[in-house]
Amino acid sequence: MKITTPEFKSNAVEALADENLQKAMGHVQVGFIEKRQVAADGLPEFEALRDNARDIKNHTLAHLDLYLEAYSEKVEQSGGHVHWAQTAEDARNTVLEICRKAGAKTVTKGKSMISEEIGINAFLEDNGIAPIETDLGEYIIQLRGEAPSHIIAPAVHVLKEQVEEDFRAEHTHLDVDRNLEEPETLLDEARTVLRQKFIDADVGITGANFLIAETGTSVIVTNEGNGDLTQTLPRVHIVLASIEKITPTLEDVSQIMRVLARSATGQELSVYTTFSTGPRREADVDGPEEYHVILLDNGRTNMIGTEFQEMLRCIRCGACMNHCPVYRAVGGHAYGWVYPGPMGAVLTPSLEGVEKGGNLPNASTFCGRCESVCPMRIPLPKMMRHWREREFERNLNPATQRWGLKIWAWIARHPGLYAFGARIAVRGIATLAGKNGRLASLPLAGGWTKYRDLPAPEGQTFQQQWRVRGGK
Amino acid sequence: MTPREAILGKIRSQISVGSDDTTRRTAVANRLSSTPKGVIPERGQVAPAECVDLFCQQAEKVHATVDRISTYDGVAEAVSAYLRGRNLPQSVRMGDDNRLEAIDWSKTPNLSRAFGPSDGSDPVGLSHAQMGVAETGTLIMTSGSANPTTVNFLPETHIILVHSQDISGDYETSLNQIRSQFGKGRMPRTVNMITGPSRSADIEQKLLLGAHGPRSLHIIVVDD
């Protein structure tokens, strides 16, 4: 997909003015934040499980090459095929080759962020194969020709009235007078329309929440059951997964499962957690005859051994974006690529380069809520700060910003001057503000005062007060 | 260089693996063979009877319905009564599970049974779970002719039997049982963990039951 991350600022301005989007984003508070809190509070071991989940992934990443070897050996032993893809293009070509060999005309898809990352839908279409998204949210945005705006709720930006319009435009074979006012009727219609597509598809593509090294198993975690129909009914099952999905054992997966759904939707466990190992066996009467796993790197190995390695612990629950004031204000599309919110702000520059993704780490107030809810305890603000440093080192920020930062840095390293300057500024701003103690405009701070008043300093500088209180 | 060698080589160079890799290899071999348990929630670590109660409560919390019967003798009537109560046809799709075969179906002559995988035309599926997990009211299904995977997903109504002795407190205990049953490092083609009927909240975050999988999940716990 085309990356519009460099236009983050104008994307954000448009998003803030989009009434439908603003209304839709209002559903995040109850839908995700409150439910997550209830689920976390309901399990006394939740914090201990977060610690252990972090430790499991740290151990795995420190031995990733060995676990990948063990995993792929097990997949082959169970009759499956492993395809290694260094780039998105390699992965796309592998998918196409498998589909062509299978003589595929239609491909059903379970929800997969990797499939978005490699842009498989457009590629298959260009090559005469029809991809059909089957997750309700993904189906909606496929009809709309949009990218997902959230990693677990792809259509979180869409209102039900908009879904109705899309369904009426697409499902022209159905009665035009039918009632589609309620989400229930919309869901029923999607269920009916997609059912035959599941049965007709030649190939099913799913993602993976985990790949288990011990057994060569791919695991998907879903609520609708579409992923299961996708990987059970067609003759060929393709799993798209990135290399960091590896988890050592069944026990390790159980640990992380306990924090995944609680952090994502506030469920204790998603409805379906499905373990797939190889193609159908002799004892099976259903399931695919071929099982392929595509292991994608696409820049992840560059993160290993760097200050961004911890990002590879991410299990894609979406809690960071649900709790991010910036994400909730502008929605996911403003971020301009596949991964939005705080995790996207770290991952996008890592995978697509800081030249394209450098805007995103700046789109944060560093309030720290993302890190406080991350089930894998990923220090997201710290990593966004690393990206800001890299952006600065590579002269990518505007000249005014660079000079401002340089001047500030120089003053900050000269305490006498800093204290003097601060005293002058406190007095100056207080004088400008006059009696009401608020400033409606201030030179060099127009971006702030355009939308709200700046409260004026009331007395002494922080350092003066610190000294008076004897450093307490 | 193959893509596999390139990816693995890159990882090794990024983590600066030296010439002696014995420590790392031992650590991986140990974890894969000893499969350490992590943090196990207390809630499921209770006496067997309480564990079954907890399983039922948790399943009901996620909108499954639960029926408890004392022996397998009562299964046919319990299935038939459930279907009658829901105004559903007296017919079920099922696999050839021994435990289902052993049931005396002559008690419910009106209840017809179709065997083998589902093609999507069956209103009701009947399966036997391999295990139940009390901590979240989860059922564990293994694929095979005994309980075909399609029966778990295509019918609108799914009835699952579980034996109370197969209900454990936590996922680790249940998955370890699969490990003993199928052999270390081996798994059946599909293992489904099912927690309630299918659902979606993709339209305005409103929770709706019955997405692509069953709209209703009815669990029959056989106490025996």
pLDDT in tens, A371-401: 999 999 999 999 999 999 998 888 888 888 8
**Which residues on B lie below 8 Å from A286 (Cβ)?**
117, 143, 148-150
Answer yes or no: do A77 and A189 share one domain.
yes
Residue of A nearest to B141 (CA): A274
Domain that holds residue B89: 44-198+207-222
How do residues A164-182 score in pLDDT, each as one tens digit? Answer: 999 999 999 999 999 999 9
CB nearest to A140's CB, from B170, B189, B202: B202
Position B192 in a domain: yes
- CATH code of residue A215: 3.40.50.10420
Position A157 in a domain: yes
Residue A441 pLDDT grade (very low, low, confident, very high; cuts 50, 70, 90): confident
How do residues A122-144 score in pLDDT, each as one tens digit? Answer: 999 999 999 999 999 999 999 99
Residue of A nearest to B178 (CA): A250
Residue A287 pLDDT grade (very low, low, confident, very high; cuts 50, 70, 90): very high
> Is-contact A27 A233, C-beta < 8 A?
no
> Is-contact A139 A163, C-beta < 8 A?
no
The answer to whether residue A243 neighbours chain B at the CB level (below 8 Å) is yes
Q: Which residues pair with A202 in a beta bridge?
A: none
**Res B219: pLDDT:** 98
Answer yes or no: do A294 and A406 share one domain.
no
Share of chain A above pLDDT 70, in %: 100
**For A357, phi and psi rounded to 5 degrees?**
-100, 5
The answer to whether residue B2 neighbours chain A at the CB level (below 8 Å) is yes
Integer angstrom CA distances of residue B50 from A20, A406, B169: 49, 66, 10
**Exposed / middle / buried, residue A98 (Cβ in 10 Å: 0-12, 13-18, 19+):** buried
Position A361 in a domain: no
Chain B, 28-67: which have a CB under 8 Å from a chain A CB?
A: 28, 31-32, 35-43, 58, 62
State how far residue B212 is from chain A, nearest Cα, in angstroms.
5
**What does DSSP assign to residue B16?**
T
How do residues A141-162 score in pLDDT, each as one tens digit? Answer: 999 999 999 999 999 999 999 9
Contact criterion met (CB < 8 Å) for A250 and B175: yes
Gap between the Cα atoms of A228 and A236, Å rounded: 13
Q: Between the CA atoms of A217, A221, A225 and A226, what dihedral angle is there, to the nearest 10 degrees?
A: -80
Position B134 in a domain: yes
**Res A470: pLDDT:** 87
How do residues A185-226 score in pLDDT, each as one tens digit? Answer: 999 999 999 999 999 999 999 999 999 999 999 999 999 999
The answer to whether residue A280 neighbours chain B at the CB level (below 8 Å) is yes
Chain B, 189-218: which have a CB under 8 Å from a chain A CB?
A: 189-206, 208, 210-214
Domain that holds residue A283: 43-298
Position A385 in a domain: no
Residue A472 pLDDT grade (very low, low, confident, very high; cuts 50, 70, 90): confident
Gap between the Cα atoms of A18 and A236, Å rounded: 42
Position B24 in a domain: no
Position B158 in a domain: yes
The answer to whether residue B19 neighbours chain A at the CB level (below 8 Å) is no
Contact criterion met (CB < 8 Å) for B149 and A232: yes
| Closest residue by Cα to residue B118 from B149, B144, B81, B143 | B149
- At A463, which amino acid appears? Q
Task: For residue A412, count other CB atoms closer than 10 A to its CB.
Answer: 11
Q: Picking from A69-83, A261-275, A432-446, B139-153, which range would have the lowest pLDDT averaged per residue? A: A432-446
- CATH code of residue B70: 3.40.50.10420
Radius of gyration of chain A (CA): 25
Interface size, chain A vs chain B, as Cβ–Cβ contacts under 8 Å: 276
Position A388 in a domain: no
> Is-contact A84 A181, C-beta < 8 A?
no
Residue A457 pLDDT grade (very low, low, confident, very high; cuts 50, 70, 90): confident
Contact criterion met (CB < 8 Å) for B211 and A224: yes
The answer to whether residue A299 neighbours chain B at the CB level (below 8 Å) is no
> Is-contact A338 A117, C-beta < 8 A?
yes
Last residue of a domain, one of A279, A298, A317: A298
Position B93 in a domain: yes
Last residue of a domain, one of A298, A322, A354: A298
State how far residue A40 is from chain B, nearest Cα, in angstroms.
13
Gap between the Cα atoms of A237 and A230, Å rounded: 8
**Which residues on B lie below 8 Å from A84 (Cβ)?**
2-4, 6-7
**What does DSSP assign to residue B146?**
S
* ipTM of this complex prediction, to 2 decimal places: 0.98
Position A183 in a domain: yes
Which of B14, B133, B204 is the mutation pick for testing A, counting most A CBs within 10 A? B204
Residue A405 pLDDT grade (very low, low, confident, very high; cuts 50, 70, 90): confident
Gap between the Cα atoms of A69 and A81, Å rounded: 13
- Mean of per-residue pLDDT scores for chain A: 94
**Res A460: pLDDT:** 85
**Which residues on B lie below 8 Å from A199 (Cβ)?**
119-120
Contact criterion met (CB < 8 Å) for B4 and A233: no
Contact criterion met (CB < 8 Å) for A274 and B28: no
Tell whether the model's pLDDT for residue A444 goes beyond 80.
Answer: no
How do residues A113-123 score in pLDDT, each as one tens digit? Answer: 999 999 999 99
Position B77 in a domain: yes
| Closest residue by Cα to residue A237 from A382, A98, A340 | A98
Position A383 in a domain: no
Position A327 in a domain: no
Position B132 in a domain: yes
Contact criterion met (CB < 8 Å) for A198 and B8: no
Q: What mean pLDDT is predicted for residues A438-463?
A: 83
Q: What mean pLDDT is predicted for residues A345-360?
A: 93
**Res A64: pLDDT:** 98
**Res A438: pLDDT:** 85
**Which residues on B lie below 8 Å from A56 (Cβ)?**
38
Chain A, 373-392: which have a CB under 8 Å from a chain B CB?
A: none
**What does DSSP assign to residue B134?**
T
Q: What mean pLDDT is predicted for residues A346-351?
A: 96
Integer angstrom CA distances of residue A57 from A125, A200, B9: 36, 39, 20
> Is-contact B55 B67, C-beta < 8 A?
no
Contact criterion met (CB < 8 Å) for B196 and A86: no
State how far residue B4 is from chain A, nearest Cα, in angstroms.
5
Q: How many domains does chain A have?
A: 2
Q: Picking from A34-38, A358-362, B53-57, which range would have the lowest pLDDT averaged per residue? A: A358-362
The answer to whether residue A151 neighbours chain B at the CB level (below 8 Å) is no
Residue A320 pLDDT grade (very low, low, confident, very high; cuts 50, 70, 90): very high
Q: How many domains does chain B have?
A: 1
Tell whether the model's pLDDT for residue A464 goes beyond 90.
Answer: no
Answer yes or no: do A272 and A408 share one domain.
no
Tell whether the model's pLDDT for residue A428 goes beyond 90.
Answer: no
Contact criterion met (CB < 8 Å) for A154 and B202: yes
Mean pLDDT by 10 residues, chain B (224 residues): 97 91 96 97 97 98 98 97 98 98 96 97 97 98 98 98 98 97 96 98 92 97 94
Last residue of a domain, one of A249, A273, A298: A298
Position A202 in a domain: yes
Instruction: Give me the helices (H) in chain B, please.
Output: 3-14, 22-34, 48-61, 75-85, 98-101, 149-153, 171-182
Position B27 in a domain: no
